[in-house]
Structure 1
């Protein structure tokens, strides 16, 4: 009987190349980070289309956002059925540590995921709000804003989970039952943000663009459309210092110093906690119908 052999992990070329001048982190050290956090990040990647943010010249260089690939382009990457996104090369999926390292070898720094699984791409299983601070918004205001979003979602009987973005903002995630399509979920997330902007206009704005959010926060609902993505939990961000997007318990939020509280350099202290703050997410999936009625939204 033939014995199957696992493919070896991709070789990381130019491992000594510094990819972030602020921290001195090399390509090899970034690959080692992804190898280390594979048990934590893979549950957030598996079964979902993923987009790669590639930085061949490192942080500060030109970034490439890649949602599609051809066979053999990235070691270990799964190519999805082209019918899922007609007119393009296949969408990508990372299900294994080998694929994760293949992305790192391909100069990937960030990993972004869809709000739906590949097997049910027409019906999102989560709703995401990317709290994006405008000029002049400090970290304490960001913390308070996230808690206000949490309060509103709680009033709508919607479970909410939070994570650092690894950059400047925070991500609030609502786990959903697969009930509505992209247009309905995006439309309702917009209604929530517009309600926030009407209720607390000094803090929130419902329009994107830097000019619109000076001194205020845009709770980005556009992440909830078909093909839109958000940085995955445990993804590194292609910014000076290489911050990491990390799942939190709401009780931890007041004690954090920034949205880039954890970085590639200091992430070791958080690995023991891992995904524990989000353990209840899968069992918290909620239908949106009642919340839509409470807010007066008609899908």
Structure 2
């Protein structure tokens, strides 16, 4: 049995949740969470003194001979061992380790600007879904565990990271150009006041996104929870579920909200053409410039 050091240390002063509470949460979620971690490069947010203390972002395995070797979590035992070492958040990259040059997903991170009402976030997520549908793609929805929402698009691992990033960037730019009162494609607080910044930089070669079911190192210990699109209108915030309530939510689910996600292998060919991007026949990456056709 795993020995937990300092089990009574308070991780979140707002709720009084302790390190033991967090480890028990991850133990209860391991069967759901490990499939989202296994086989991917993992990055961890460690908080030895809880969310109020200094935090460390770690992406390389300190036990490996290669200093650049990515962290990996392939079992419940490894997940709990990381939690014992004060890991609060778990993030994953967009590639599988067996094919590190070819992403198998795209992530659209919807981040609300100051003053944006939550119903506009719900509408924004639906608009992203609608544009993806026009591009021949299906997205799966999850809360961020913080203020926002994530739309995750599984794809066939055929295109380079540069090509995938180009597709997400062009998609976000189209949103911002079509609905400038709702979306912005530039980061920075001043640019997004009252609007949604859709962060396509989550699709950079080494970028990561918080994993499904991971806690967040923020007051309340919100959880990034996969949900069905039908649940969007009932959602009250991006941190609706927490370490204290997430398991109860799963216990009342009648169907897996992400059914089909793990087996989806969607093509980007139609999206590339619709967005006016050029690419070489071997799909190595985007060509310079864009086609004249819109």
Counterpart of 2:47? Answer: 55
SS in 2 for 1:282: coil
Counterpart of 1:284? Answer: 264
Over the aligned positions, Cα root-mean-square deviation in angstroms equals 1.4
User: Is 1:130–2:109 an aligned residue pair?
Assistant: yes
User: Is 1:103–2:95 an aligned residue pair?
Assistant: no
Counterpart of 1:249? Answer: 228
The answer to whether the 8 A contact 2:167-2:275 is kept is no
User: Is 1:232–2:211 an aligned residue pair?
Assistant: yes
Counterpart of 1:76? Answer: none
Structure 2: distance between partners of 1:228 and 1:129: 12
TM value normalised by structure 1: 0.90
Counterpart of 2:62? Answer: 70
Structure 2: distance between partners of 1:274 and 1:62: 40
Counterpart of 2:127? Answer: 148
Structure 1: distance between partners of 2:39 and 2:235: 31
The CA deviation at 1:284 is 2.8
TM value normalised by structure 2: 0.92
**Worse-superposed segment, 265-274 or 234-243:** 265-274
Poorly superposed stretches of 4+, deviation over 4 Å: none
**Worse-superposed segment, 91-100 or 261-270:** 261-270
The answer to whether the 8 A contact 2:187-2:197 is kept is yes
The answer to whether the 8 A contact 1:247-1:275 is kept is no
Structure 2: distance between partners of 1:99 and 1:44: 14
The answer to whether the 8 A contact 2:88-2:215 is kept is yes
The CA deviation at 1:275 is 8.1
User: Is 1:115–2:107 an aligned residue pair?
Assistant: no
The CA deviation at 1:112 is 0.2
Structure 2: distance between partners of 1:95 and 1:210: 37
SS in 1 for 2:44: strand
Counterpart of 1:218? Answer: 197
Structure 1: distance between partners of 2:270 and 2:136: 8
Structure 1: distance between partners of 2:198 and 2:20: 35
The answer to whether the 8 A contact 2:167-2:271 is kept is no
Change (3 A) 1:182 1:275: farther
2:138 to 155, 159, 165: 159
Structure 2: distance between partners of 1:282 and 1:96: 17
Figure out how many residues of one structure are paired with residues of the other and give that number.
278
2:164 to 174, 182, 185: 185
Structure 1: distance between partners of 2:247 and 2:43: 25
Q: Summarize deviations over 1:84-128 as a string: whole Å, max 9, x none.
A: xxxx43211101111111111111110000011110110000000
Within 5 Å, give how 1:27-38 maps onto structure 2: 27-38=19-30
**Worse-superposed segment, 54-63 or 34-43:** 54-63
The answer to whether the 8 A contact 1:131-1:170 is kept is yes
The CA deviation at 1:274 is 9.0
Counterpart of 2:283? Answer: none
